[in-house]
């Protein structure tokens, strides 16, 4: 894998690890951004890892753009040699699929959709070759996901499913973006799932909603007291389909301050994963449910 470097004006360097998404590209991006952080290069003001690329913001009054470019290129070889092993955490996120709120929203924006006669889930299931919405939800929630980028708006995670390429779901974005999306909607665009952290515009297909807050600028929610943003790149997520009753119960617990997300520490090795995808995922599930 050979990276493509470009300047973003006089204050950014943009590095595309690969034009296509893959776990290999994600891990290279993550290793490189870690290497850049560890190198403590003076003049760097922001390090932003993304799915298969990353961006460095810098002050050209402190470091010349070509000098920083050369330093980053040196770090590429170092990052590629680093083992793709990650000490991270796995989080269970409850999802109420086919909920009334995203349903109301998707009906409101039907004229902006590829298939106005179907719901987003029916459409996604059909174009990905699933017989039923239930089978599609099973595929979406059956295997874990990597948080491969945090961004767009405050604390929104982009997630990439940990299955081999031919099992990966792909859906287009809306023909024209919506002006409204319920907060905590679980969306899908390209090969990425996301959770909308705030209410607002959005172009991803809408599959469901989670009662678990992931962004709280007031930091009142129990699991966001330490920091207002929940996710970081490298987090592993497992969706757990829930019913309306469970949804309402969790909302109440969040309100009372008693809700605790299920989070467990895990070590992930890309090499082990590639050698045995289903086996690795099964071990991740064991770690998630070990108490």
Partner 1 sequence: MPINVISAGISTTVQDLGRPGYYHLGIPMGGAMDRMALRAGNLLVGNEEGAACLECAFFGPELEFTEDAVIAITGAELPPKIDGAPQPTWTALDVRAGQVLSFDYLQAGARAYIAVAGGIDVPMALGSRSTYAIGALGGVKGRAVQPGDELPIGTGAKAGTGKSLPPELRRLPAARAELRILPGLYNHRLTEASLTQFFKEDWRVANEADRMGYRFQGGTPLEFVAQDQPFGAGSDPSNITDACYPYGSVQVPSGAEPIILHRDAVSGGGYFMLGTVISADMDLIGQLQPNMHVRFVPVDMATALQARHDRRQQLDRIRKALA
Handedness of CA 233, 238, 243, 245 (dihedral sign): negative
Strands 53-58 and 12-16: antiparallel
Is 193 an interacting residue with respect to partner 1 (CB under 8 A)?
A: no
Binding segment for partner 1 (CB under 8 A), chosen from 102-110, 147-155, 236-244, 269-277, is 147-155
Binding segment for partner 1 (CB under 8 A), chosen from 9-17, 73-81, 243-251, 267-275, is 9-17
Residues 172, 189 contacting (CB under 8 angstroms): yes
85-123 burial, b if ≥16 CB within 10 A, otherwise e?
ebebbbbbbbbbbbbebbbebbeebeeebeeeebbbbbb
Count of residues touching partner 1 (by CB under 8 A): 54
- Choose, by CB under 8 A, the member of 30, 32, 35, 53 that binds partner 1: 53
- Choose, by CB under 8 A, the member of 24, 88, 92, 151 that binds partner 1: 151
Nearer to partner 1, 190 or 241 (CB): 190
Chain center to CA of 16: 18
Which secondary-structure segment (H or E) carries 38? helix 23-39
Is 198 an interacting residue with respect to partner 1 (CB under 8 A)?
A: yes
Is 43 an interacting residue with respect to partner 1 (CB under 8 A)?
A: no
Chain center to CA of 17: 17
Tokens of 121: 């889930």
Is 189 an interacting residue with respect to partner 1 (CB under 8 A)?
A: yes
Largest Cα–Cα separation, the chain: 59
Is 47 an interacting residue with respect to partner 1 (CB under 8 A)?
A: yes
Is 38 an interacting residue with respect to partner 1 (CB under 8 A)?
A: no
Nearer to partner 1, 106 or 150 (CB): 150
* Rounded distance between C-alpha atoms, residue 36 and residue 31, angstroms: 9
Is 213 an interacting residue with respect to partner 1 (CB under 8 A)?
A: no
Q: Which chain residues interact with partner 1 by CB under 8 A?
A: 6-12, 14, 16, 18-22, 45-55, 57, 60-61, 65-66, 149-156, 158, 160, 165, 170, 172-173, 189-192, 197-198, 200, 215, 217, 229
């Amino acid at each position: 894998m050979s990276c493509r470097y470009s300047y973003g004006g006089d204050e950014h360097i943009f590095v595309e690890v690969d034009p296509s998404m893959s776990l290999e590209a994600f891990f290279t991006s993550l290793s490189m951004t870690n290497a850049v952080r560890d190198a403590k290069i003076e003049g760097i003001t922001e390090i932003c890892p993304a799915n298969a690329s990353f961006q460095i913001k810098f002050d050209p009054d402190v470091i010349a753009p070509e000098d920083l470019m050369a330093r980053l290129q040196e770090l590429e070889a170092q990052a590629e040699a680093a083992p793709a092993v990650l000490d991270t955490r796995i989080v269970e996120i409850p999802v109420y699929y086919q909920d009334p709120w995203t349903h109301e929203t998707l009906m409101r924006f039907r004229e902006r959709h590829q298939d106005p006669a179907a719901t987003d889930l029916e459409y996604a299931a059909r174009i990905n070759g699933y017989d039923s919405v239930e089978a599609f939800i099973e595929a979406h929630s059956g295997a874990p996901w990597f948080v491969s980028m945090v961004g767009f708006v405050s604390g929104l995670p982009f997630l990439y499913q940990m299955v081999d390429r031919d099992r990966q779901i792909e859906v287009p974005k809306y023909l024209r973006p919506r002006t409204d999306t319920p907060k905590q909607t679980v969306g899908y665009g390209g090969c990425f799932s996301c959770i909308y952290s705030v209410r607002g515009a959005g172009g991803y297909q809408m599959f469901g909603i989670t009662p678990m807050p992931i962004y709280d600028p007031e930091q009142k929610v129990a699991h966001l007291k330490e920091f207002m943003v929940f996710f970081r790149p490298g987090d592993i997520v497992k969706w757990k389909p829930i019913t309306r009753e469970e949804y309402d119960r969790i909302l109440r617990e969040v309100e009372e301050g008693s809700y605790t997300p299920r989070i467990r520490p895990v070590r992930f090795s890309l090499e082990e994963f590639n050698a045995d995808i289903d086996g690795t995922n099964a071990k991740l599930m064991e770690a998630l449910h070990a108490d």
